[in-house]
Amino acid sequence: MALNDKGRQNSLQWTGEDVVEYILLLCAAEVTFGDLMQLMISASPTTLKKYLFYFIDYDLISYNGQKQTYFIKGKGLKVLSKIIEDKIV
In a domain, 50, yes or no: yes
| Cα distances (angstroms) measured from residue 16 to each of 51, 64, 67, 68 | 10, 25, 28, 25
User: What's the rounded Cα separation, in Å, for the pair 53 and 3?
Assistant: 22
| Averaged pLDDT for residues 29-56 | 92
User: What's the rounded Cα separation, in Å, for the pair 18 and 11?
Assistant: 10
Query: Can you give the pTM of this predicted structure?
Result: 0.79
What pLDDT shows up at residue 16? 64
More confident residue, 29 or 89: 29
In a domain, 89, yes or no: no
More confident residue, 8 or 34: 34
Residue ranges making up the domain that contains 63: 3-84
| Averaged pLDDT for residues 47-68 | 96
In a domain, 25, yes or no: yes
In a domain, 45, yes or no: yes
In a domain, 53, yes or no: yes
What CATH number should be reported for the domain holding residue 79?
1.10.10.10
In a domain, 8, yes or no: yes
In a domain, 64, yes or no: yes
Report the number of distinct structural domains present in the chain. Answer: 1
pLDDT digits (tens, 9 = 90+) for 5-33: 544 444 445 566 788 999 999 999 999 99
What pLDDT shows up at residue 49? 95
Q: What is the DSSP string of 11-56?
A: GGG--HHHHHHHHHHHHTT-B-HHHHHHH-TTS-HHHHHHHHHHHH
60, 42 Cβ separation under 8 angstroms = no
What pLDDT shows up at residue 42? 78
